[in-house]
Amino acid sequence: MAALKRCATQNQIPKMTRRRWIADEVSGDRAALTGDHADHLVRVLRARVGQEFDIAVGALVRRGRISHIVADRVEFELGEEAPAAPAAAVSLLLAIFKFDRMEWAIEKCTELGVSRIVPVVARRTDAHLVSAALKRAERWRRIALEAAEQSRRAAPPEIAEPSKLHDAVNLSAGLKIVLSEVEKQIQLRDVLGAGQGDVILAIGPEGGWATDELLLFQQAGWVSASLGPTILRAETAAIAATAIAVSG
């Protein structure tokens, strides 16, 4: 009887979830990680031939068995498909703010499932951040890739090149919402609803959107909404708004 109980207990222990990687190269039933991506798997995680991982290849996730390893390249033989949750139909128009905080927001919003992030230059974006932003996009993409793998996404969100607000307000979406500190009546949850399709949320910089920017949003058909009575940091607002949108 004791032996049967032990067997029953063992059968209830869940299997460990395989770590997920997003392939750098794919050809038929083979895939590979390259460069720093591969080096992390080899040097830090001490990968070995024969180990199995989930490998994201485009829109699919497949079981991958390591077939070959060199210092900057890990090759996989691909097997059957594995479950993969789709990205949420939520995009962020994210005003550029202090890079350390913005990177944290990109990481966490990626984990929550956002599908696209568009960095924009706002009136209150510091001048030195504007000049450095164009060189930062690749770092933001790398952060999003790592966060997507950690959270078991099939693909990272698209990280667009930084743009001017005047151009970004014309992005198309089923529902366009600008988060505003001056909005007192309409809450974000009140605006979101079933059947609206894809959503894009605009998060302002430190200090919020300027008056003329809010007018620009209004003229471009954006709906104004609030996250509540407290004043949030830009990164907190981005994460909170994303969490509300993906759960709604």
Domain boundary among the residues 63, 81, 99 is at 81
**Is residue 5 pLDDT above 50, yes or no?**
no
pLDDT tens per residue across span 13-72: 344 567 888 899 999 999 999 988 888 888 878 889 999 999 988 778 899 999 999 878
Domain around 230 = 90-247
Alpha helices in 13-112 (DSSP H): 35-39, 99-112
Domain boundary among the residues 18, 51, 81 is at 81
- Are both 19 and 115 inside the same structural domain? no
Task: Quickly tell me which residue has 């009887």 as its tokens.
Answer: 1
CB 200 within 8 A of CB 225: no
- Are both 74 and 197 inside the same structural domain? no
pLDDT tens per residue across span 73-88: 999 999 988 776 666 7
Task: Quickly tell me which residue has 């720093």 as its tokens.
Answer: 36
Domain boundary among the residues 42, 60, 81 is at 81
Distance between CA 132 and CA 145 in Å, rounded? Answer: 21
| 67-81, 84-98, 100-114, 215-229: the lowest-pLDDT one | 84-98
pLDDT of residue 87: 66
Please check whether residue 138 lies inside any domain of the structure. yes
Please check whether residue 214 lies inside any domain of the structure. yes
Please check whether residue 25 lies inside any domain of the structure. yes
User: What CATH number is associated with residue 69?
Assistant: 2.40.240.20
User: What CATH number is associated with residue 143?
Assistant: 3.40.1280.10
pLDDT of residue 45: 80
pLDDT tens per residue across span 121-154: 999 999 899 989 989 999 999 999 999 998 888 8
Residue 31 CB: number of other CB atoms within 10 A? 23
Please check whether residue 156 lies inside any domain of the structure. yes
pLDDT of residue 19: 83
- Are both 138 and 111 inside the same structural domain? yes
Instruction: State percent of the chain over pLDDT 90.
Output: 60
pLDDT of residue 86: 67
Say how many domains are in the chain: 2
pLDDT of residue 208: 92
The structure tokens listed for 36 are 């720093």
Higher pLDDT, 184 or 168: 168
**Is residue 242 pLDDT above 90, yes or no?**
yes
Cα atoms in the Cβ-side hemisphere of radius 13 Å centred on 83: 3
Helices (H) and strands (E) in the chain, counts: 9, 13
- Are both 48 and 98 inside the same structural domain? no
pLDDT of residue 196: 63
> Tell me, what DSSP letter sits at residue 169?
T
Q: How far is CA 210 from the centre of its chain?
A: 27
The stretch 165-186 carries a mean pLDDT of: 92
- Are both 47 and 117 inside the same structural domain? no
Alpha carbon distances (Å) from 19 to 55, 123, 137, 147, 152: 9, 42, 26, 12, 8
pLDDT of residue 82: 77
The structure tokens listed for 243 are 């969490």
